[in-house]
Amino acid sequence: MSSTITENQITDTQAYCQQLADKAYAASRSLSGVASQQRIDALNAIATRIEASAEFLKSENAKDLAAGEANGLSSAMLDRLKIDDTRIASIAGSVREIASQTDPLGQIIEGRVLPNGLKLSKVRVPLGVVLIIFESRPNVTSDAAVLCIKSGNATILRGGKEAIHSNNALAQCVRGGLEDAGINPDVVQLVQTTDRAAVGALLKMDNRIDLAIPRGGKSLIKAVVEQAHIPVIKHYTGNCHVYVDNVCDEQMAIDICINAKTQRTGVCNATETILLHKDVVASGLGKKICDALIAKGVEIRGDASIAKLNDKIKAATPQDWDEEYLDMIVAMKTVDSLADAATHINDHGSRHTDAIVTNDVNHADQFVQSVDTANTFVNCSTRFSDGGEYGLGAEIGISTDKLHARGPMGAADLTTYKWVIYGNGQVRG
C-alpha cells in the first residue's frame, strides 16, 4: 500500500497543496488510458479491502469517536461519525453497486454525419480533477472517491478534522484497491493537513482542478464559493414544500404531510413548509393535517387562518417562510390558489424539492410547469429526492444550482463531453 504523508511532515501548506494538485492532474491524465473493466476491477478491489479492513476501520474510527467525546460533540454528531459492522457492509455494498453500473464514459450523447461527410459525435468524457470538501460523515470519503473513479476523474478529498483517522483508513482502502487494479493511487488523495489555508489554496488552482463540490452546511458552502477560482456545484438549503390542493385525496394528503415532515427531520429533502389551499382549510382537512402533525410532536407555525385550527399552533412570522428547520417544526400557510402556491414556492423555496397533492390532472401539470425546482413531485413525499431512490447509485450531492447538474448527482454528473469529428481531409470553403 502506498505510503501517506502525515500531517507533521507538512510545513508549507501552499507547496503541499500544489504538489497534491499536480499529482492529481497527472493521475487524471493517466486515467485516459484506463479501460472501463480496469476501473470496475479497482472498485471491486476497494470493496474487498473495505470488508477485509473492518477491524482496522473500527479501531481508527474509535480514535475519532474518543476525540469527539472529549471535545463534547453532540450525540447526533457522534452517531454520524461512527463506523460499525453494519455501516462497513453498507459502504462496501455501495461501492459494488457503483462498480456494476453502466459506465458513463464514452457514451455518445448525440451524433450525425454532416452534409460535408464529417462524422460528428458528442462523447461523454471525465471532467478531470474534482475537489470534494466535506464535513463529518466518513462514508463520504469512499462514496466520493468511488464515484470519481467510476467517472474517470482524479479527486482530492478534504474531510472534517473530527473524522481524520476514519477518513485516512478508508482512503487507504481506496488507494490500495486502485493499486490492486494497476491504477495510479494518486487518482484519490486525501488532504493530510488540517490547516484551513489548504482549502483556500486548492480552490485557486484553476489550471489543475476542474470542479469543487462542498458537502456540508451553508457556512461551508458560502466560504467555498467566496474563495473559489474554479467552478463550484452548490447544495444550499432544502426549504421543501408540500402544497395540498383543493382537489385531493384526504388520507393521501395527511400521509404525505406526515411523512415529508417527520420521517426524518435532519435531512435536506424533509418538508419545511406546508401550503394549504383555502378550501382545504375551510373543509376541515386542514384541521386533520394539523392535528395529525401535532399528534406526532410537530410544532406548527401557521398564518392567522391556520392558527385557528388548533390551540397549539404558534403564529408564523415572515422569517418562517424562508426557514430550513431540520427539526420537528413546520411552517403552514393558506393560499388562495395553485398559482399563489407556485409563487410562494418560487419566492421562498430553495429550488430543491416541492410536491403537490392533487387528484386533478390539470392542476398536477400546472404545478409541474410553474414551480421552478430541481425535483417536482405529484402525490408523493418530498423524502424521495435522493440519488439512491432515483437509481443513480450513491450520490455525490444534490445540486440546487441550475447549471451543469440539478438535483441528485450520480457518476454521470461528474463528466463533461467533447465533440469528436472524423473526416477524410475536409477543409472549410
Please report, as ranges, the residues that interact with a second copy according to CB under 8 A: 29, 32-33, 112, 114, 118, 120, 125, 127-128, 210-211, 231, 233, 249, 252, 255-256, 258-260, 263, 346, 364, 368-370, 372-381, 383-385, 389-391, 401-404, 406-408, 416-429
Are 44 and 99 within 8 A, CB to CB? yes
Written as one letter, the residue type at 409 is: M
User: Closer to a second copy at the Cβ: 80 or 383?
Assistant: 383
The minimum distance between CB 300 and a second copy, in angstroms, equals 19
Cβ burial, residue 121 (10 Å; 0-12/13-18/19+): middle
Q: CB neighbours of 425 closer than 8 A, spacing ≥ 6?
A: none
The minimum distance between CB 88 and a second copy, in angstroms, equals 24
Nearer to a second copy, 141 or 184 (CB): 184
* Rounded least distance, CB 20 to a second copy, Å: 19
Are the CB atoms for 129 and 156 separated by under 8 Å? yes
Task: Give the nearest distance from C-beta 135 to a second copy in angstroms.
Answer: 23
Judged by beta carbon, residue 249 or residue 291, the one nearer a second copy is: 249
Question: Are residues 80 and 216 in contact, defined by beta-carbon separation less than 8 angstroms?
Answer: no
Min CB(178)–a second copy separation in Å: 20
- Whichever of 270 and 316 has its CB closer to a second copy, that residue is 270
CB of 109 to a second copy, least distance (A): 10
Smallest separation, CB 307 to a second copy (Å): 27
Q: Which is nearer to a second copy, 54 or 368 (CB)?
A: 368
The DSSP-derived string for 74-125 is -HHHHHHH---HHHHHHHHHHHHHHHHSPP-TT-EEEEEE-TTS-EEEEEEE
Instruction: Compute the distance between CA of residue 244 and CA of residue 335 in angstroms, rounded to an integer.
Output: 10
Q: Which amino acid is at 246?
A: N
Contact partners, residue 125, CB within 8 Å, separation at least 6: 105, 152, 415, 416, 417, 418
Nearer to a second copy, 58 or 352 (CB): 352
Residue 108 backbone dihedrals phi, psi, to 5 degrees? -90, 110
Quickly list DSSP for 125-188: EE-SEEEEEE-S-THHHHHHHHHHHHTT-EEEEE--GGGHHHHHHHHHHHHHHHHHTT--GGGE
In the complex with a second copy, the residue whose CB is nearer, 16 or 377, is: 377
Smallest distance, a second copy to C-beta of residue 243, A = 14
Shortest Cβ 21–a second copy spacing (Å): 15
Which one-letter amino acid corresponds to residue 380? C
Q: Which is nearer to a second copy, 200 or 231 (CB)?
A: 231
Distance in Å, CB of 218 to a second copy, minimum: 15
C-beta of 273 vs 373, nearer to a second copy: 373
Choice between 296 and 312, CB closer to a second copy: 296
Q: Provide the 3-class DSSP secondary structure of residue 286.
A: helix
What minimum distance in Å lies between the beta carbon of 79 and a second copy?
20
Q: Residue 336 carries which DSSP code?
A: S
- For 379, phi and psi rounded to 5 degrees? 60, 45
Query: Of the two residues 284 and 423, which places its CB atom closer to a second copy in the complex?
Result: 423
- What does the block give as the cell for 167? 477518513
Q: Is 72 left (phi over 0), alpha (psi -120 to 50) or beta?
A: left
Q: Are 220 and 133 in contact (CB under 8 A)?
A: yes
CA dist 315 and 299 (Å) reads 11
Buried residues in 419-428 as b, exposed as e (16+ CB within 10 A):
eeeeeeeeee
